[in-house]
Structure 1
């Protein structure tokens, strides 16, 4: 790690715009700001990374607080037969500055040392960021391991990670002699911070004055919950007695709901799309004393993601230049396809990509559920298609890893099907540049926002999606995207699969080959209509206007 000097008290390096002067500390378990800094797993990190880039572009008075994961999330390697294998390798970052700040937090029955490193905003064009780690002198192996792997499978370690982010983040700000006006919790991972603040300010109202909360979870069952005594024993509540914890956190029994506590101790909260805001208000309506829940739709940083030649062609309304550039970008992607799979893809062929975190509700393998129909589509030489899958399942999710490997083994049967490993920022960019169709298949209302399709659209790919998340605010069928009708009744999986294949056979594939002018107009519509509304500069401004104000 870099040994540059770091001076206290900390001062924000930007001269903030007058409307953006309120000081904010943004707590997130993961950030994807650059391929070189592997401290993220998926969508939450991509979103936070884009937000930090827009903070930099807009000179906002905000700092990021995250974790320095020794092994990152994991490296997606391959076994001898080519199937997926999680690998955990130590990461070293010479561009991080050691702040020399060290403090102890009581947790797991020990006093655990926490060290803080600084990411200078000029390094990657992001907000200034502080990253916390327990992998430091004074800790034994068991406590060093708290900050080894993002989302540790051991529940005790996962909670300890949340405590380092929350309590550790609040303690870091004190060590920096930097008191923000707003503590922004991006998801409930850092909710332990509110109990540290309660001890400091002696009242729930004083905590609520300072805290805002973004929820990304569209299902009650998806919210993190733990036995309150288990958390208390770990030191989660900073010594606040359990009667008080229950009273101020909206907890009615022995089960501590992290999101409910965050909602109870915030003054404002938001969902991450219009639909998700509605779903969240409905989901939490039994708890009248929580913060009001609005919505700020997620977005991605256009300056980082968009191909400059495509963007120039969009502004000039030059469809021919878009088509020519798209073909070049497909060729670049197909070098990676050939390198990983030994298959040579054709830039003239319609290329469908499904790439994001592998999780059951996202239904990554829907395209192959009707295997006979899939085989017919893949064998069609008159109107051929190429399909690419990529994404990282949670390494302990055997079902999702099994789905990934099933698709990989299946790909041996088709020269026009590839399953890629290493889905991080760099591969994500290549796939979005090279996709003609960006396929998105979540169960409707299960995807809070989903942002990968935004950056695909910025790079002249058309979204083909179920009607969920941000898509509801963007997509118009056969104008700027292809949409599946919302399935209703008992067997939504069968309906969605049938509609997916039907739409591919009757609309998507024929439009690409038989109506190129319509396809090109749809691309232009899509690029124009995603450009500003789903650029994270808009989102970062809205956080100041709607959440921080």
Structure 2
């Protein structure tokens, strides 16, 4: 009997491993930007018919369903979903040994089909099986849940279990793409199959042929924040992995003090890249001695385009969905039609704001939106650094604010930011319409990136790796107002595609620069010269959507990383 995986076996030669992949809002297999990028990558692989299989975790309990209580504090809930509703179980299992016990891993298959019928397989790894010890069944349940030991178990299942499962299913993989360091143990699994040939001296004490592994591994690092790189105590590694690979060998590859998953992936990958030009510079400073290239992220344009904009794009570039570069002609869109489409998208967002929060907002006032993961370096509170000045600006040039974002369950600082933002909004409610929307996910993101007028982004440089939400906004004609970091250094043409907050590498007063730009440039333009505003919307679409898309990104990976 034919297995549903069989049609993919003859042609698939590349495996993309990611702890999270955002496929649809109902499948809670993602937490934020990393997973959304992986989902857009999968969609473009299907569009371009690239021979890729994706491997991730089932995450049955999701990441986090966010509630905002009456005091404005985040309340964390599990966010369960049922894999059987969206994926097909495969009749295959493999075991990895964790703490001396066999832990069985079964895959679910989700087939992603693009509009022209091309398909990509996505495997979701699941340990909730009766064959497993009760304690092991929950390993793949909660995305980024638990302590370091729980995380290490997940990364063993993803990297070692995922690689074994591909082999067991019959895939003949030539290239493995590690999306962040979570899957770095996959490279260690490949390494242990290649002992250094007799007669060849050990490389600095390494008894394996690491060059054979580098030929097959591609690594994309995403975070310039030290806390974002997973590190594990070698005592835990030895206890969980046993004799899978010698600890003295791991220390040569991944650091003497703790197992650094990023360093392990760096050492064993022949192609390494950051996710924007500036991020690659920062990564080279963090990890000197490694050749770290830059492939700037992109977004899947059809997924993130509002239906009203999509209908409009069809009139000037019929092939825009498959070939987003065709949107270079979007500067020819009729002003009235573009503004009408934007107002339709804005009305949808404002209706959702009122439904979720009870706050009624006006369609004729500019809407500033901030929607990111809530954590310190993203600085979501920068807009409120000088509340009296914010009040003064709003009295002369009224505006509205919508914010959204989740804090990691263990990020007390991020949760404190959400509470502080809620307090600011309550105190300013009579003067500036404001709302914080709970449970930021793919569905809400689609409304936000299409319905905003200004997309606000205020990271502390150089900690923004890329920042794809601004790209999604731009392709809908939303204008970016952002600190110069991540992708925006490449995408910003001042007064054309949006505006910069401060200067590049200035390290100055970003709050003051934000207020100056709002008061002196952004709000006067919206209130006083709508024609110029619409012109900028068209420039944003034509210059950003045509370039910062996942089709371009995946063509670069295919040509530069996969076909080395």
Query: What TM-score results when the alignment is normalised by the length of structure 2?
Result: 0.89
2:238 matched to which residue of 1?
232
Equivalent of residue 470 in structure 1, options 484, 487, 505: 487
1:164 to partner: Cα distance: 0.9
Q: Does the Cα contact within 8 Å between 2:139 and 2:154 map onto a contact in 1? A: yes
Q: What secondary structure does 1:407 align onto?
A: helix
Q: What secondary structure does 2:20 align onto?
A: coil
2:35 matched to which residue of 1?
45
Equivalent of residue 266 in structure 1, options 265, 269, 283: 269
Distance 2:193 2:169 in 1: 16
Distance 1:486 1:47 in 2: 28
Q: What secondary structure does 2:440 align onto?
A: coil
1:542 matched to which residue of 2?
556
Equivalent of residue 366 in structure 1, options 365, 382, 401: 382
Distance 2:265 2:482 in 1: 32
Aligned CA distance change for structure 1 residues 147 and 9 (closer, same or farther; 3 Å): closer
Distance 2:40 2:5 in 1: 28
1:12 maps to 2:8: yes
RMSD: 2.1
Equivalent of residue 278 in structure 2, options 275, 280, 296: 275
Moved over 6 A (4+): 123-126
Equivalent of residue 414 in structure 2, options 389, 393, 400: 400
1:238 to partner: Cα distance: 6.0
1:91 to partner: Cα distance: 1.2
1:121 maps to 2:121: no
1:78 matched to which residue of 2?
68
Superposed counterparts of 1:440-479, under 5 Å: 440-479=457-496
- Unaligned 5+ residue runs, structure 1? 17-21
**Count of residues in correspondence between the two structures:** 527
1:209 matched to which residue of 2?
215
Superposed counterparts of 1:78-227, under 5 Å: 78-79=68-69, 81=71, 83-93=73-83, 94-122=85-113, 127-202=120-195, 203-220=209-226, 222-227=228-233
Distance 2:292 2:234 in 1: 25
Moved more, 352-361 or 410-419: 410-419
Distance 2:539 2:158 in 1: 42
Q: Does the Cα contact within 8 Å between 2:28 and 2:80 map onto a contact in 1? A: no
Distance 1:427 1:328 in 2: 16
Distance 1:274 1:332 in 2: 35
Q: What secondary structure does 1:297 align onto?
A: coil
Distance 1:89 1:121 in 2: 22
Q: What secondary structure does 1:388 align onto?
A: strand
Aligned CA distance change for structure 1 residues 468 and 544 (closer, same or farther; 3 Å): same
Distance 2:4 2:537 in 1: 51
1:123 to partner: Cα distance: 8.8
1:301 matched to which residue of 2?
300
- Unaligned 5+ residue runs, structure 2? 196-208, 317-331
Moved more, 414-423 or 369-378: 369-378
Superposed counterparts of 1:383-398, under 5 Å: 383-398=397-412
1:59 matched to which residue of 2?
49
Distance 1:264 1:468 in 2: 27
Query: What TM-score results when the alignment is normalised by the length of structure 1?
Result: 0.91
2:322 matched to which residue of 1?
none
Equivalent of residue 424 in structure 1, options 415, 435, 441: 441
Aligned CA distance change for structure 1 residues 256 and 376 (closer, same or farther; 3 Å): same
